[in-house]
Amino acid sequence: MRLQQLEAIARRLDEQHPDYLYLAEQLAMARAGAIGEDEVQFFLQELTTPHRTIRNLSFYSAVQHRHEIDFLVIFPSLILCFEVKNMVGHLHFDMVASQLLRTRNDGIIERFPNPIEQLTRHMRVLSSLFPTIPINGAVIIANRRAIISSKPAPIPIFHADYVHSFIEKKLLQYNEPLLDLDEVYAQLLALHYSKKEPLTFTLAQLKQGVFCKRCSAKMRFVHGKFICLRCNMQDKYAHFQALNDFRLLMDTKITNQQFCQLCDIPSRHAAKRLLRFFPIIGDGKSSYYEIPEQILTMTQCEGHDSLI
């Protein structure tokens, strides 16, 4: 959810906003994290042993501490918990000071929180939830160019291409079936809590218009469709992305007037036609439309984009 919010901010927030540069940096970090997780996912796909995988599990513990786990891999004999870092440079895990030091190619040394401590927290709470099941884990470095060095660590640290071999060794060590895959998988998914970060943007701070998904240029609304004046794409449902941005950054409901302002639609009657797919709540000036969470996956009977 955080990545989606940051991508919506990149599309919508005015570059003059005082937080724009900071949020742009956060977006770059979030995208790097997602790329790193994709790298690990690639190697996990090689597994042939029966298992279930959960990516980006987010939940609160009994004492209301937030946990965000990159990967959980559930086997009949154990649960594996992985913390993924997509970093380049020389990575030194200092267990005495509990810190990760990165030496960049230009010689600058940067300090980061120790992911081993983070992973240990996750494994501790998982052990409290499943006290009879072995819980193991590792820190995975997704960037193949990173160089890993560390003092002796209580938790393994390795590159993504070793994850399959690591799992095979753990399955040899823990081979007694102790759990029902589907049952534990369902229990963990039931814990998941996808929460949007609280944001305080106003509609006036967001860029107006509907933007082309191909070239990002502003589109023009003509005769019931949106047309890109740069690449000539036309799209009847391009406003779905704008509505999703509004949902991520402001509210799950929108009025006709707000929609006209957001998408730069001059006619409230045209706006009403564009919003006909969504539930309307209330009547008259106090009415608003609910924006469904799955709006970007809504499909129509006909293709929604083509070239003029």
> Would you state the pLDDT for residue 217?
93
Say yes or no: 16 and 129 in one domain. Answer: yes
Q: Within this chain, do residues 11 and 77 fall inside the same structural domain, yes or no?
A: yes
Question: What is the three-state SS of the chain?
Answer: CHHHHHHHHHHHECCCCCCHHHHHHHHHHHHHHHHHHHHHHHHHCCCCCCCEEEEEEEEECCCCCEEEEEEEEECCCCEEEEEEECCCCEEEEECCCCEEEEECCCCCEEEEECHHHHHHHHHHHHHHHCCCCCEEEEEEECCCCCEEEECCCCCCEEEHHHHHHHHHHHHHHCCCCCCCHHHHHHHHHHHCCCCCCCCCCCHHHECCCCECCCCCCEEEEECCEEEECCCCEEECCCHHHHHHHHHHHCCCEECHHHHHHHHCCCCHHHHHHHCCCCCEECCHHHCEEECCCCHHHCCCCCCCEEEC
Do the domain assignments include residue 279? yes
Q: Within this chain, do residues 265 and 225 fall inside the same structural domain, yes or no?
A: yes
Confidence at residue 304, expressed as pLDDT on a 0 to 100 scale: 41
Q: Tokens standing for 280?
A: 């309307």
Whether residues 51 and 187 fall in one domain: yes
pLDDT, residue 307, reads 35
Tell me: do 38 and 151 sit in the same domain.
yes
Q: How many domains does the chain have?
A: 2
Domain termination residue (choose one: 166, 191, 216): 191
> Does the global pTM surpass 0.85?
no
Q: Which pLDDT tens digit goes with each residue over 96-150?
A: 888 899 998 888 999 998 899 999 999 999 999 999 999 999 999 999 999 998 7
**Confidence at residue 52, expressed as pLDDT on a 0 to 100 scale:** 96
Q: What is the pLDDT of residue 234?
A: 93
CATH of the domain at 239: 1.10.10
Q: Cα(138)–Cα(123) distance, rounded to whole angstroms?
A: 10
Domain that holds residue 243: 203-307
Residue 198 included in any domain: no
Confirm whether 286 is domain-assigned: yes
pLDDT per residue, tens digit, the chain (308 aa), is: 678 889 998 899 888 888 888 888 889 888 988 999 999 999 999 999 999 999 999 998 888 888 999 999 999 999 999 999 999 899 999 888 888 999 988 889 999 988 999 999 999 999 999 999 999 999 999 999 999 987 667 899 999 999 999 999 999 999 999 999 999 999 999 999 876 666 778 898 899 999 999 999 999 999 889 999 899 999 999 999 999 999 999 999 999 999 999 999 999 999 999 999 899 998 777 899 999 988 988 754 444 443 33
Domain assignment present for 196:
no
> Are residue 164 and residue 242 in the same domain, yes or no?
no
Residue 152: what pLDDT?
65
**Judgement on whether residues 118 and 90 belong to the same structural domain of the protein:** yes
What backbone phi and psi angles, to 5 degrees, belong to 153? -115, 145
